[in-house]
């Protein structure tokens, strides 16, 4: 593990770390100490001194003051700073990708891919910094001009999850910064070190550009930190990624004070496989979607809905593909599947398996908690597949583990109904070579999800599109397209350059 030690060193991670940072200064939080254990080998990586309320208040004071300065810097100049952050991330891609893999447990390839998403969103944000377009419209009054502009909103609170410990922060932060906002990041308490490493990487850019203290803040802590952000009227936008129960409590608290929230919550993502599907494309798409990141993406494939004529064939191919999966240390590149995040996730896997059996499901690829050499952390489980009915309560529920459900359908209407018949609405896909089927799937009578794909799986979305979903997924959109609008306030302006004062709607008012 000397490699990891060197990497931690290069990323500024010490055995005991300060958990609070304004971007210029950092200090040890006065709250509880968080210990970060690697699910890869069960070793303790380091400790972080997390926040208590007084640390939070200091951070909010600094960030509120920083906003007053940052919002006045022209957007393309802010974009230039984000461009430099992208360059720093390029330099540290291998180290940060490795730490993501080691602290969170996803494969090294996926760890590096996550850092690539960060670099890509920096590039996207740089371009955006010269756009942030408003519309102009024609006034009904002579010698009047109407247009809209987008202004910064203030302090953005970012609550991120362990499964994408760094990329999701960057989707939010890089956009928020070019939009003129300042950010307070509460990373998952399961992955605090990758967050501190990100702050360390961008610190030189903050310093070189004399970015005011408070533009990029980190607040390490548990659930209560999220609650402080959600309840604080000083936080203009709370962007939260995680489970539906977490999002519901954040969303309720923010709504109560009429604040803004951007929620990216659970998925229950399905793939429909029709008789015309190219199974050579479909099967790898299904397996990557189901076992990638050990089934811990919000976009992970949870349900496969297969037409009855090809059901046996798909089943056979899935069983064969699963038999080839290598499960083990995710830093070793031949392994496809790493560990779950911790032992409580293993318990949930176990519990879900029990409920599937209880409901009448049949496993065709067996679940197992792995033990013995290489599996000492107790976090490794075997990806499994069960034949189920969509109506089982457990199938309606998102379990963050590599458990794939197989469901049979007769005609496409029925398949779409099954696909939509869950509380969540994040990602969906169809494998078909039939244009009528794919168009129906993408139409208003098709998938009800925020993401709907044809002949690719449910996970692995590119940053250029808006990312998020409907129903219990929370309705928010992050990352590409016009998701930046969530980080700004819209102002409509009407300007009279004439010598009269005509009123709208034809109203006469003479004095």
Cα–Cα distance measured from residue 37 to residue 433, given in angstroms and rounded to the nearest whole number: 46
Residues 6+ positions from 420 with CB-CB distance below 8 Å: 447, 448
User: Is residue 424 within the footprint of ligand UN1 (CB under 6 A)?
Assistant: no
Give 352-403 as a DSSP string.
HHHHHHHHT-EEEE---B--STT-TTS--B--EEEE--TTSTTTTS--SSSE
User: Is residue 298 within the footprint of ligand UN1 (CB under 6 A)?
Assistant: yes
Q: Which of 21, 163, 329, 428 binds ligand UN1 (CB under 6 A)?
A: 163
User: Is residue 299 within the footprint of ligand UN1 (CB under 6 A)?
Assistant: yes
> If binding means CB under 6 A, how many residues of this protein chain bind ligand UN1?
10
Tell me 337's DSSP state: B
Stretch that binds ligand UN1, among 10-18, 174-182, 295-303, 313-321 (CB under 6 A): 295-303
The catalytic residue among 189, 264, 472, 478 is 264
**Beta carbon of residue 401, minimum distance to ligand UN1 (angstroms, whole number):** 14
Task: Give me Rg for the CA atoms of the chain.
Answer: 24
Task: Please say which residue, 164 or 392, places its beta carbon nearer to ligand UN1.
Answer: 164
User: Is residue 460 within the footprint of ligand UN1 (CB under 6 A)?
Assistant: yes
Q: Which of 103, 459, 472, 486 binds ligand UN1 (CB under 6 A)?
A: 459
User: Is residue 440 within the footprint of ligand UN1 (CB under 6 A)?
Assistant: no
What H or E segment, with its residue span, contains residue 23? none
Q: Residue 281 burial (CB < 10 Å; 0-12/13-18/19+)? A: middle
Cα–Cα distance measured from residue 82 to residue 202, given in angstroms and rounded to the nearest whole number: 9
Integer CA distances (angstroms), 409 to 265, 309, 357, 395, 414, in order: 28, 9, 21, 16, 6
At 287 the three-state DSSP class reads helix
User: Is residue 400 within the footprint of ligand UN1 (CB under 6 A)?
Assistant: no
**Beta carbon of residue 226, minimum distance to ligand UN1 (angstroms, whole number):** 16
**Beta carbon of residue 203, minimum distance to ligand UN1 (angstroms, whole number):** 26
User: Is residue 164 within the footprint of ligand UN1 (CB under 6 A)?
Assistant: yes
Task: Please say which residue, 104 or 356, places its beta carbon nearer to ligand UN1.
Answer: 104
Q: Which two tokens stand for residue 276?
A: 């015309």
Task: Please say which residue, 154 or 425, places its beta carbon nearer to ligand UN1.
Answer: 425
Cα–Cα distance measured from residue 90 to residue 202, given in angstroms and rounded to the nearest whole number: 11
**Beta carbon of residue 479, minimum distance to ligand UN1 (angstroms, whole number):** 8
Please provide residue 223's backbone torsions phi and psi, each rounded to the nearest 5 degrees.
-55, -40
Task: Please say which residue, 241 or 352, places its beta carbon nearer to ligand UN1.
Answer: 241
Q: Which of 98, 241, 261, 390 binds ligand UN1 (CB under 6 A)?
A: 241
Cα–Cα distance measured from residue 283 to residue 317, given in angstroms and rounded to the nearest whole number: 7
Q: Which of 78, 83, 190, 297 binds ligand UN1 (CB under 6 A)?
A: 297
**Beta carbon of residue 245, minimum distance to ligand UN1 (angstroms, whole number):** 16
User: Is residue 461 within the footprint of ligand UN1 (CB under 6 A)?
Assistant: yes
Task: Please say which residue, 168 or 314, places its beta carbon nearer to ligand UN1.
Answer: 168
Catalytic (active site) residue 117: no
Give the largest Cα separation in the chain, rounded: 90
Task: Please say which residue, 26 or 101, places its beta carbon nearer to ligand UN1.
Answer: 101
**Beta carbon of residue 457, minimum distance to ligand UN1 (angstroms, whole number):** 9
Taking alpha carbons only, the member of 308, 272, 296, 268 closest to residue 394 is 268
**Beta carbon of residue 76, minimum distance to ligand UN1 (angstroms, whole number):** 27
Residue 360: other Cβ atoms inside 10 A: 10
Q: Residue 31 burial (CB < 10 Å; 0-12/13-18/19+)? A: buried
Q: Which residues bind ligand UN1 (CB under 6 A)?
A: 163-164, 168, 241, 297-299, 459-461
Active centre residues (catalytic): 264
């Amino acid at each position: 593990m000397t490699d990891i030690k060197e990497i931690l060193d290069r990323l500024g991670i010490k055995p005991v770390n300060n958990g609070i940072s304004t971007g210029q200064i950092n200090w040890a939080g006065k709250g509880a100490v968080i210990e970060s254990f690697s699910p890869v080998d069960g070793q303790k990586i380091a400790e972080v001194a997390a926040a208590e309320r007084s640390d939070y208040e200091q951070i909010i004071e600094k960030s509120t003051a920083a906003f007053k300065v940052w919002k006045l810097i022209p957007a393309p100049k802010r974009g230039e700073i984000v461009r430099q952050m992208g360059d720093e991330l390029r330099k540290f891609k291998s180290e940060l990708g490795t730490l993501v893999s080691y602290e969170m447990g996803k494969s090294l390839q996926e760890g590096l891919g996550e850092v690539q998403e960060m670099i890509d969103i920096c590039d996207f944000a740089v371009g955006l910094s010269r756009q942030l377009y408003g519309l102009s419209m024609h006034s009904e009054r002579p010698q009047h001009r109407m247009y809209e502009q987008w202004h910064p909103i203030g302090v953005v609170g970012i609550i991120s999850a362990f499964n994408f410990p760094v990329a999701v922060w960057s989707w939010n932060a890089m956009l928020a910064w070019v939009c003129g906002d300042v950010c307070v990041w509460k990373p998952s308490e399961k992955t605090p070190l990758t967050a501190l490493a990100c702050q360390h990487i961008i610190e030189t850019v903050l310093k070189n550009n004399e970015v005011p203290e408070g533009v990029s803040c980190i607040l390490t802590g548990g659930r209560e930190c999220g609650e402080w952000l959600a309840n604080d009227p000083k936080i203009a936008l709370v962007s939260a990624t995680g489970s539906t129960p977490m999002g519901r409590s954040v969303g309720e608290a923010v709504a109560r004070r009429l604040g803004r929230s951007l929620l990216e919550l659970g998925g229950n993502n399905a793939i429909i496989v029709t008789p015309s599907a190219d199974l050579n494309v479909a099967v790898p798409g299904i397996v990557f979607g189901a076992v990638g990141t050990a089934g811990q993406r919000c976009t992970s494939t949870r349900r496969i809905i297969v037409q009855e004529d090809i059901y046996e064939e798909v089943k056979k191919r899935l069983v064969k593909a699963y038999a080839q999966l290598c499960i083990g240390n995710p830093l070793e590149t031949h392994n496809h599947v790493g560990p779950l995040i911790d032992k409580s996730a293993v318990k949930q896997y176990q519990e879900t398996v029990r409920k599937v059996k209880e409901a009448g499901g049949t496993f065709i690829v067996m679940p197992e908690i792995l033990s013995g050499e290489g599996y000492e952390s107790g976090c490794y489980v075997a990806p499994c597949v069960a034949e189920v009915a969509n109506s089982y309560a457990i199938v309606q529920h998102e379990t963050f583990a590599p458990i794939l459900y197989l469901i049979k359908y007769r005609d496409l209407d029925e398949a779409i109904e099954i696909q939509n018949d869950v509380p969540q609405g994040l990602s969906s896909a169809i494998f078909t070579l039939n244009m009528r089927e794919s168009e129906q799937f993408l139409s208003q009578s098709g998938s009800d999800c925020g993401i709907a794909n044809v002949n690719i799986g449910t996970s692995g979305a590119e940053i250029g599109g808006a990312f998020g979903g409907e129903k219990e997924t929370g309705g928010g959109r992050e990352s590409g397209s016009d998701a930046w609008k969530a980080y700004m306030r819209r102002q409509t302006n009407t300007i009279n350059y004439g010598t009269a004062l005509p009123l709208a709607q034809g109203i006469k008012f003479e004095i």
